[in-house]
Amino acid sequence: MGLKDKLSDMTDDEKVEVLATDGMLVKRPIFVGKEILVGFKEEEWADKLGGKPYEFSG
């Protein structure tokens, strides 16, 4: 795809379009809302999104 060579010439809209068409290009989870969360820290996400960390029962 040679994407890394094209990035500097692409608009933000073009970059978003490419990311939207191929989810494998994102190497870490990203959440954009009232806050931006990058990477996955379960307790931080649960705290910011108002949930509870997943608990395994076994």
25, 16 in Cβ contact below 8 A? Answer: no
Residue type, 38: V
Q: What is the spatial distance between Cα 2 and Cα 7, in angstroms, rounded to a whole number?
A: 9
Task: Read off the pTM.
Answer: 0.45
Chain segment 6-42, per-residue pLDDT in tens: 989 999 999 888 888 887 877 778 888 888 888 888 8
Residue ranges per structural domain of the chain: 23-58
What's the distance, CA 35 to chain centroid? 12
39, 28 in Cβ contact below 8 A? Answer: yes
Considering only residues 1 and 51, tell me which one the structure prediction assigns the higher pLDDT: 51
Q: According to the model, what pLDDT value does residue 11 have?
A: 92
42, 54 in Cβ contact below 8 A? Answer: yes
